[in-house]
Amino acid sequence: MQTAKNEIQIVKIGGNIVGDKKRLEAFLLHFAAIKGKKILVHGGGKLATEMAEKLNIPAQMVNGRRITDEPTLDIITMVYGGLVNKKIVAVLQQYNCNALGLSGADINCIRADKRPVTDLDYGFAGDISEVNAKQLIALLEAGISPVLCPITHDKKGQLLNTNADTIASETAIALAEHYKSVLTYCFEKAGVLENVENEDSVITHIDSSKYKQLLNNGIISEGMLPKLHNCFHALENGVDRVCIGNEKMISEQQPTFSLLTL
Amino acid sequence: MQTAKNEIQIVKIGGNIVGDKKRLEAFLLHFAAIKGKKILVHGGGKLATEMAEKLNIPAQMVNGRRITDEPTLDIITMVYGGLVNKKIVAVLQQYNCNALGLSGADINCIRADKRPVTDLDYGFAGDISEVNAKQLIALLEAGISPVLCPITHDKKGQLLNTNADTIASETAIALAEHYKSVLTYCFEKAGVLENVENEDSVITHIDSSKYKQLLNNGIISEGMLPKLHNCFHALENGVDRVCIGNEKMISEQQPTFSLLTL
């Protein structure tokens, strides 16, 4: 995967890659080899859950969603902001990619608002209010590759837990004014599947009309719905194209993946 | 404490300030108010030890020194590189200081060599081989204040645990070619004490001959010896002056502290 001079690649890796040391190292080798400007966004998968269990901090779930109380935020900050982020940066540096680990607080690069309490209090969960494109562009133009962990801040001293998919899409949108912005989601499957149980059923191209058709047919699995929504939100806000697939997308010559365009 | 145009302040805060939320916030408010270029270096004090205890990871001590085995390195990376570093950055951003948290791996800013195994194997402990002054200067000139945690890397993918005092002095030395470099150690005492049990016995000025005299008289306490050695090593390598005292040094009009010069 090559990047033209005026292009920015924003690549998000999912928890199943982050949590698998061998798979992560293979991915990072290929990420480092991407030419041109690039940003990596990572989650932390089950590592935070495992740490919470070790520390006997019970996961607070409401309607299947994790509530970020203060001990949970501390764990996320330790595991995602510290352990995962710094290890990724060290490996990328080994491969001569000039990586710089960032939370949203660092150089105030992603500001968020604490999610308002309605019938549900999500705790220290943050919804992005501003991506600081100017600071990120300055880094990118200096040859630095930001590595973003899924933590933001409110500029009032509070760190906040923020979805990594959303960090990737909002960052891609914020940079789309300055670059041809290409957003890539790497996860455990080869793409958006026609049949969730058949890895060979990757839908290779989804445009707006195909997306509506898929929604109407009820073909897209529940887990995929918010991801696709995120993708089309990005496309509608200036992102050039979105790719969804597994990590082979950035290493193979003729990979299979889903290409999303308007 | 004001900084002239061509001056850089490198301030190191000790574990007793980092571990005390109120004291840390007060310190950060004053650090943020320092005009001009500045770098903060922090340790993590007892927070990593507490976390190791919670996770039932026994501290490996040999001759009173902690050995950094892999689980210990992970804890240090989580606590210093994640929790402590990101919380400090978020608070500084609140006070409009454009802070950026860094380990030595980020933008390859501090490279170290794993300490050679002799009769003792220190594990993943790193001795600094190079501070990347060029990258740090680029950040400083862009109005960014680096916040360094005591973690370095070997540029071969391995993070390493490195003494925060040494990170501060080596960074001050590396920047001394470009700026008038001022190194400040904030810890729990008001300065270098003539009598370790009397807080009013601060030695306000120590130059090379006074230093030799103190060494010969055996006046300096054992804990202070490596710190002073570090300080004079910095002075002998281009650092303009070194200050040792508590955090009031950077907030009070006429603070008491020890000033060290050649």
Of B74, B107, B153, the CB nearest to A98: B107
pLDDT one-digit tens code per residue, B155-209: 999 999 999 999 999 999 999 999 999 999 999 899 999 888 898 999 999 999 9
* Mean of all residue pLDDT scores within chain B: 92
B44 a known binding residue? yes
pLDDT one-digit tens code per residue, B145-165: 999 999 999 999 999 999 999
Q: Which residues on B lie below 8 Å from A42 (Cβ)?
A: none
pLDDT one-digit tens code per residue, A103-145: 999 999 999 999 999 888 899 999 999 999 999 999 999 999 9
Residues in chain B: 262
Of A82, A94, A106, the CB nearest to B81: A82
Question: Comparing A6-15, B50-59, B60-69, B231-240, which segment has the lowest mean pLDDT?
Answer: B60-69
In CATH, the number for domain B7-188 is 3.40.1160.10
Residue of B nearest to A139 (CA): B139
Mean pLDDT across A160-168 = 96
A183 and A168 Cβ atoms separated by less than 8 Å:
yes
For residue A249, what pLDDT is reported? 87
Mean pLDDT across B222-239 = 91
Confidence of residue A217 (pLDDT cuts 50, 70, 90): confident
pLDDT one-digit tens code per residue, A199-210: 899 999 999 999
**Cβ–Cβ gap A155/B93 under 8 Å:** yes
Domain A7-260: CATH class, spelled out? alpha beta
Distance (Å, whole) CA A110 – CA A105: 7
For residue A62, what pLDDT is reported? 77
Distance (Å, whole) CA A101 – CA B246: 31
Sign of the C-alpha dihedral computed for residues A136, A137, A142 and A145 taken in this order: positive
ipTM of the complex: 0.95
The position carrying tokens 């050039």 is A240
For residue B1, what pLDDT is reported? 55
For residue B2, what pLDDT is reported? 53
pLDDT above 70 for B3? no
For residue A212, what pLDDT is reported? 92
Confidence of residue B62 (pLDDT cuts 50, 70, 90): confident
B187 and B247 Cβ atoms separated by less than 8 Å:
no
pLDDT one-digit tens code per residue, A14-46: 988 999 999 999 999 999 999 999 999 998 778
Distance (Å, whole) CA A124 – CA A117: 11
pLDDT above 90 for A237? yes
